[in-house]
Structure 1
Amino acid sequence: MKHLALQLSLLAALAGCGGSSSEPPAATADQTPQASAPAQQAPAAAGNSQATVTPPIQGTGRPQHFRFSSKLADSGIDFVQVSGNSPDKPFPAANGTGCGILDVELDGRPDVYFACGAKFPLRPKAPGPRDRLYRNRGDWHFQDISTLAGIGLPGYSCGIAVGDLNSDGFDDVCVTRYGATLCWISQGDGTFSEQAAELGIDSTEWGTSAAIADLNDDGLADIYVCNYGQWNWDDSAYCGDPVRNIRMFCSPTHVPPQPHILYRNSGSGFVDASEESGIRVRQGRGQGVLIADIDADSHPDIYVANDIHPNFLFVSDGNAFAEIGEVSGTAFDHLGQAQAGMGLAIADVDRSGTPDLFVTNYQNEHNALYSNLGNRAFLELGLSVIPEGSLPWVGWGTSLTDFDLDGWPDLIVTNGHTDDNLAELGKEGDYAQPAGLWKNQNGSFVLAGPAGDYFRTTHVGRGLATADFDQDGDTDVVICHQDAAPALLCNDTPTAAQLAGTLSIRLIGSHSHRGALPATLQLQTSPPQTFILHAGGSYQSSSQPLATMVLEDTTAEKMPPLQIRWPDGSETTVDGLSPGKTYTIVQTADGTQEPRLYLCP
């Protein structure tokens, strides 16, 4: 292991170290969600999430651990999602869409890509809603650059995966869709070119979530695509009450699963390596995927959440994968039953030094937490570690993130039912549901008190992504809603003193793939803070690959040593980092020398 004495270089032009912009913010109409719920459910309009009389998931008598404020109103984000829901209940509309975080211009400010659905039956050449891309101009102002960037095609988009597919230093975007997967390749000037077909990505399946990372340790970015199932408009089943002609979405069991796809990067394009890589051993209705070094052997592993199928855990030997979901204890809940696996999160929840896995599930199923016991063994502890607030809700996008900067990853889940006519059919549940927010207290989660107007109202959530949108050192949130505007939530929780004690790290690979995912960072506090930089996660969404850790010793002037395990297995220890700063750490070309460090202004 290399041991590095800190040597700083200031380079504002470096990717990810952007300064402030002098451009004036774009003015838009108020699109903020309503602060209070109406008395009864009403159709969502632009900027208004659906709301019901369902009580908030946060009890008013609880301490206010977190504070979030909505920034949508004057942000310039005027996107309104289209799910495709109708009285005919086309199945893809139930699952909705996600979003992704990227840095289009390498100015260090996280931009946002929103996936949009469409009405069924699909009409590929007809005008209709499109995906939208918003550039972050600073100070919570965004500019719609969809047309300028050249993105957006007719069709039903589902998930967003972000990564550098051609190692040119710019973020590219893969969009999973019903019937295709698109790849928007950055041209380096703020525009994108759709190149899926010429790159060899010719899927015609119904893709949901995807993730981009180097999966065979060759320094090139590969793609894992979750496919859901075989459904088409012309022969979709009728579910509901035929006497009253009231349809509801069918159970997933009506949709046969489709095999997932692993696209391997050859350097000149992509080839379908699903069979040879070992990921075709089973089928499942895939909904969430994340890529991380889960077993700490310096090879990337893949965890997949499946809908009423066992979840997959593919562990890598550097070339191929073995599926060990059932053997490892990550396929089922604590009773040995498959759940509705949707969203995924990963973090060292108990600060044991090993990553734990979290899965969101359906109503009357608890959200599952798989505690890592080491040696590829896990114990499902969701009901005991997260005892409150999960069973009544349908969970989707999620993140394990240290929102209050106390060194322990907290938990957020966006909720929302699939059916908007439950009462009409005499079924329990509410379409719009409150988001859940839990504080991590030494490895167990406590339901938080009110955290702002957004958490006092109900919404029909789907995708969720995290990023430090205002570059103040803490983590903010964007949440996608069905047939409504998204939520843009500023984290106001940490104090100025806490923000001054943070350390934010971006990695750039050289010997490893440039995106440097997956990687593991460990700050030598007591106990250590382990941060898992992963690809994918949440639900059909991609978050900013930024590691944030905290200085727990308030008397110290420097951070404790930071250990980095790069995707190629090489390790580095960095000493003397200053708190309250963001660093970009660049691996050297051979992976054996001291990396370069850049302090971002």
Structure 2
Amino acid sequence: MKNGILLFLMAFLPIALSAQFPYALKGTTATFGAPDTVSGYPFPQGFPQWGTGVSCIDFNNDGLEDLTFATGTNQELYFYTNNGDGTFTKIAPLVSNTHHTKMVLWADYDNDGDKDLFVTAFQRPNTLYRNDGGGVFTDVTAMAGIPVRNDWTWGATWGDYNNDGLLDLYVCNRHNAVNSNYLYRNNGNGTFTDVTRKAGVSDGTQLTFQANFVDINNDGWLDLYLANDRLYGNTLFRNNGDGTFTDISTSSAAGITIDAMNTAAGDFNNDGFFDLYVTNTPNGGNVLLRNNGDETFSDISASAGVQGFNFFWAGNFFDIENDGDEDLYVSCMKDFTGSQNKVYVNQFVETGMEVFTEPYVNGLPGDTAQSYANAIFDFNDDGKLDIIVPNNGSDTIHLWENIVSNSNNWVKFTVEGTVSNRDGYGTRVEIWAGGKHYVRGHYCGDAYLNQNSEKIHFGIGTASMVDSVAIHWLSGITDVLTDLSPNQTYNVVENSTNPIPVNVNVVHADCHGSDGEATATPGGGVGPYTYEWTSGDMTATATSLAEGNYLVTVTDSNGDRGIGFASINNIGVITCDIAVTMSTNGVGGAADLTVTGGKAPFTYSWSNSATTEDISGLAPGAYEVVVVDDNLCEGRGIVGVYDNVAPCMPIIPTETVVTAYTATLKWDVPPTADASRARYREVGSPTWLISPAARDTDSELTIEGLTPDTEYEYQTKTRCDGPVISGFSASYFFRTAQLSGLPCDSWIPHTIASDHDSAVIEWTDNQDADRYRIRYRIIGDPIWKEQVALWAMVTLGNLTPSSMYEFQSATLCGATWTEWSVTTWNFTTTMAPPAMAQAGGPAETDREDRSALEQLEESAEASFKLFPNPARESITIEFAGSDNNAVTVRNANGQVIRLINSTLGSYSLDLSELPTGMYFVTVVDANGMPSTQRFIKN
């Protein structure tokens, strides 16, 4: 038992609760705006809620932690400002977004000192809002280079994976056929580049709920951990420090295969390495992965007592009673068992044992809402961590105030990067107090759909002083503070505690190699000085530097030190930005060139023989420029000049991206274009081939089936408003890439996992492959089924339980599929769950299971119709009246999987995500009368 008494006040309008328990809940209601429900109806196609997210970030920079909630379809996001007196005020939406949003993440991606907002959405576009100050936000998604498309996005996380001082974005898509996850690298100019495949973190097409950038091996580089649902094992990517990652899921034992939802990180045993907590369904329970400090993890969830065995979602580490070890709060989906959210209290400080206890065996009293996400913050700044829970359905927001009554002390830190990203995400903070050592990390989106407080909190027990603090920034800089008083918040700016200022002058590398230099000059202290560069140089000047970031530690004769930072750019990379003025009646066009990078002076060579920086008096057409700098480094640019009067012009390509078998043509869209296409051929061939068509708003098209390392000629054509069609353009040229050297053979599986009705098969991606194919059948069946995959993974669904399957593989390279593999592989599906064993009704299970199902028996006189029944893709619910009907859909175990409100005469229920089996639909009409029917998903 912990020392002291743990008290929580639940601020949950309009109810105030008071009760006594081993760790008591009591107090009066704190005002929290209106009793909002953050996940409204209807949900798209009857899709289950599975929660919406919450953020505890101070979005108006007044020092108080505010609240932002994602919401359901046709609802604006909720924004609450903290009044500083224990209450919140709901304000008008800062942005307009009525999609079915999932996660809200505040982050200063442009390092300008105010928080920008990224919002994920289910089957709707994700949105990036730039904070322009004064409460003004601009949707910059498209101009930032983030695709505007209807993905199946759940979670996301910000982190600086390449340590360049800019926050990068990882987006999780829970879809097993179309979308992978995506890593967007921050370019530092307001735009992002998709580096997913280059970095090696697409994770195929797995059902990813959430990800977390966390340094699992304390090497100063953020690794990436993913929670993947169903048969897809979780993935741990180790950061290689060169812009790429290595999948160590198997070797680390972190690649557990459960119904994973959560990726929270914390150091529960105070050993200096971050552990992971992954939530699960009742099938196996939650998993606590202890970090062994050698890039491996051990599952200690059973011995630690944190499994839970229910439908758990968000789980957060936090120190409830400020005793120095991190406890857990876990959100649970409400079902017929009366499930409640869990509080697990860590006993490590008291006993030295890696065990947790449950002061509330059935959860916090009254904490019985439909909960998915939760977040941790200190809303009244009293040093005791509180909990915010956005609930679903008719359940209102829960705010739990921590009113623990003990004498334990605490300390908090806010961090501001100057060389590292301004928010300081990825920073690792260590403190020593009362003879004990504690470590905390700073994350931006780690648990399921949440963003915790920006303030890095430590409980320090009865220690009366914080002896020392080390703040390790991603830049490599460390700030050290000593002899801090407890029960205060300290604001730390990067490199502010090192007493000797260091000025660094740099000579950037050019396009010819590693010839950059950096010279450190101390601005204080007493000489002589010693110098230690991260490049290995030990003198004031570091030489032969390639593009990258470098630190120098300068130590004077008294032992005082200073840290300097050098960023070496490859200025030989010349970028040509061209602004265009369209011509009028074939004359008067212009191209204004802006050159960045390189070393002046520059020379210019345009395709029309001009040698000036800018050109004018142009007719319609394509204009290319070659720029050469003083180091003889070269840059190129091309631009299309269209006419604003001419009836129709062919598209003018400005970029061609090639692989061994494909070419993607990119252009600026003509003002009157309805559709575009190209004809192409190998140079010297008499025969033209026709490309696919591009729509009016498309700015690119891809030609497939090309021959590697071959020169091609192509011409473009455009159909404009009405029936007007341009002629073909003059010829352009490209050369396809050489093969990587990997043979284009049928793929070989390295992972096969199956349950009763589905299987997941993975193999190694071939960079030269365009796509993959599998054919499969029950052994002995004469008919093969086929499926095509874009990634090195495939999910097979609607399989027959207790059956042995065989499959073969093929690979598409260019225009030709390989033959089906000679080898045939096998897998066996498991038995169906007991409740699905009989299609006509529930199996005869034990009495306890049977009594749960008896609650769902069909009504003698149902007030609605279900058809078709059985059904595969969707089923129609036809109501007796069009008044408000409340619909609940449960599986054969009695668990709620859909909640629907409908005022229409009928409703189409999407079944595509449901496993085969028996389900029950209960409709409560406007008079409060319930009736129930069952249906079969086949």
- SS of equivalent to 1:576: strand
CA contact (8 A) 1:520 1:533 kept: yes
Give deviations 1:232-277, integer Å, cap 9, x for gaps: xxxxxxxxxxxxxxxxxxxxxxx64731011111112111111111
1:564 is aligned to 471
Say whether residues 1:530 and 2:453 are aligned partners. no
Say whether residues 1:259 and 2:180 are aligned partners. yes
Measure, in 2, the Cα distance between the counterparts of 1:451 and 1:34: 21
Shift of 1:100: 1.0
Shift of 1:454: 5.1
Specify the code of the residue in structure 2 equivalent to 1:202: P
Give deviations 1:332-365, integer Å, cap 9, x for gaps: 1xxxxx1111122111111111111000111233
CA contact (8 A) 1:68 1:452 kept: no
1:320 is aligned to 244
- SS of equivalent to 2:143: helix
| TM-score of the pair, normalised by structure 1 | 0.75
Shift of 1:565: 1.1
Paired residue for 1:311, among 223, 230, 234? 234
Q: Which moved more, 1:174-183 or 1:255-264?
A: 255-264
Measure, in 2, the Cα distance between the counterparts of 1:579 and 1:186: 35
Measure, in 2, the Cα distance between the counterparts of 1:281 and 1:533: 24
Are the structure 2 counterparts of residues 283 and 33 from structure 1 closer, same or farther at C-alpha, using a change threshold of 3 Å? Answer: farther
Are the structure 2 counterparts of residues 436 and 553 from structure 1 closer, same or farther at C-alpha, using a change threshold of 3 Å? Answer: closer
Say whether residues 1:111 and 2:66 are aligned partners. yes
CA contact (8 A) 1:132 1:152 kept: no
Match runs of 1:63-462 below 5 Å: 63-64=22-23, 67=25, 74-84=31-41, 90-91=46-47, 93-118=48-73, 128-147=74-93, 149=94, 151-178=95-122, 179-204=124-149, 205-229=151-175, 256=177, 258-268=179-189, 269-308=191-230, 309-318=232-241, 319-332=243-256, 338-386=257-305, 390-391=308-309, 393-417=310-334, 430=336, 433-442=339-348, 443-450=353-360, 455-462=365-372
- SS of equivalent to 2:224: strand
CA contact (8 A) 1:100 1:543 kept: yes
CA contact (8 A) 1:162 1:172 kept: yes
Give deviations 1:397-445, integer Å, cap 9, x for gaps: 111100100000001001005xxxxxxxxxxx52762110011001534
Are the structure 2 counterparts of residues 77 and 276 from structure 1 closer, same or farther at C-alpha, using a change threshold of 3 Å? Answer: farther
Shift of 1:89: 6.7
1:521 is aligned to 429
Measure, in 2, the Cα distance between the counterparts of 1:452 and 1:380: 24
* Structure number with bigger Rg: 2
1:41 is aligned to none
| TM-score of the pair, normalised by structure 2 | 0.49
Specify the code of the residue in structure 2 equivalent to 1:514: R
Specify the code of the residue in structure 1 equivalent to 2:484: L
Percentage of matched positions with identical amino acids: 24
Measure, in 1, the Cα distance between the counterparts of 2:131 and 2:152: 24
Match runs of 1:529-548 below 5 Å: 529-548=438-457
Measure, in 2, the Cα distance between the counterparts of 1:438 and 1:263: 36
Measure, in 1, the Cα distance between the counterparts of 2:369 and 2:158: 30
- SS of equivalent to 1:327: helix
Match runs of 1:472-551 below 5 Å: 472-483=382-393, 484-495=395-406, 497-498=407-408, 501-525=409-433, 526-551=435-460
- SS of equivalent to 1:102: coil
CA contact (8 A) 1:180 1:206 kept: no
Are the structure 2 counterparts of residues 394 and 188 from structure 1 closer, same or farther at C-alpha, using a change threshold of 3 Å? Answer: same
Q: Which moved more, 1:544-553 or 1:442-451?
A: 442-451
Shift of 1:71: 5.0
Shift of 1:552: 3.9
CA contact (8 A) 2:12 2:29 kept: no
- SS of equivalent to 2:328: strand
CA contact (8 A) 1:292 1:517 kept: no
- SS of equivalent to 2:466: coil
Give deviations 1:18-42, integer Å, cap 9, x for gaps: xxxxxxxxxxx98345859xxxxxx
Measure, in 2, the Cα distance between the counterparts of 1:453 and 1:275: 43
CA contact (8 A) 1:228 1:257 kept: no
Specify the code of the residue in structure 1 equivalent to 2:389: I
Shift of 1:553: 5.0
Specify the code of the residue in structure 2 equivalent to 1:317: N
| Structure 1: gaps (5+ residues) | 1-28, 37-59, 119-127, 230-254, 333-337, 418-428, 596-601
Measure, in 2, the Cα distance between the counterparts of 1:68 and 1:489: 11
Q: Which moved more, 1:219-228 or 1:283-292?
A: 283-292
Specify the code of the residue in structure 1 equivalent to 2:91: I
Are the structure 2 counterparts of residues 453 and 394 from structure 1 closer, same or farther at C-alpha, using a change threshold of 3 Å? Answer: closer
Specify the code of the residue in structure 1 equivalent to 2:261: M
- SS of equivalent to 2:483: coil
CA contact (8 A) 2:12 2:397 kept: no
Are the structure 2 counterparts of residues 494 and 186 from structure 1 closer, same or farther at C-alpha, using a change threshold of 3 Å? Answer: farther
Measure, in 2, the Cα distance between the counterparts of 1:448 and 1:345: 19
Are the structure 2 counterparts of residues 506 and 34 from structure 1 closer, same or farther at C-alpha, using a change threshold of 3 Å? Answer: same
Specify the code of the residue in structure 2 equivalent to 1:137: N
Are the structure 2 counterparts of residues 61 and 140 from structure 1 closer, same or farther at C-alpha, using a change threshold of 3 Å? Answer: closer
CA contact (8 A) 1:290 1:304 kept: yes
| Greater relative contact order, per chain length (Cα 8 Å cut-off, separation 6+) | 1
Are the structure 2 counterparts of residues 471 and 583 from structure 1 closer, same or farther at C-alpha, using a change threshold of 3 Å? Answer: same
Match runs of 1:30-41 below 5 Å: 31-32=13-14, 35=17
CA contact (8 A) 2:341 2:363 kept: no
2:573 is aligned to none
Shift of 1:453: 9.6
Count of residues in Structure 1 that have an aligned counterpart in Structure 2: 481
Shift of 1:184: 2.0
Measure, in 2, the Cα distance between the counterparts of 1:469 and 1:584: 18
Measure, in 1, the Cα distance between the counterparts of 2:45 and 2:340: 23
- SS of equivalent to 1:199: coil
Match runs of 1:30-69 below 5 Å: 31-32=13-14, 35=17, 63-64=22-23, 67=25
CA contact (8 A) 2:203 2:235 kept: no
CA contact (8 A) 1:572 1:594 kept: no
CA contact (8 A) 2:40 2:75 kept: no
Question: CA-atom RMSD, angstroms?
Answer: 2.7
Are the structure 2 counterparts of residues 167 and 274 from structure 1 closer, same or farther at C-alpha, using a change threshold of 3 Å? Answer: same
Measure, in 2, the Cα distance between the counterparts of 1:76 and 1:477: 16
Are the structure 2 counterparts of residues 494 and 347 from structure 1 closer, same or farther at C-alpha, using a change threshold of 3 Å? Answer: farther
Shift of 1:447: 3.4
CA contact (8 A) 2:55 2:452 kept: yes
CA contact (8 A) 1:69 1:489 kept: no
Are the structure 2 counterparts of residues 477 and 30 from structure 1 closer, same or farther at C-alpha, using a change threshold of 3 Å? Answer: closer
CA contact (8 A) 2:479 2:494 kept: no
Measure, in 2, the Cα distance between the counterparts of 1:177 and 1:95: 13
Specify the code of the residue in structure 1 equivalent to 2:344: W
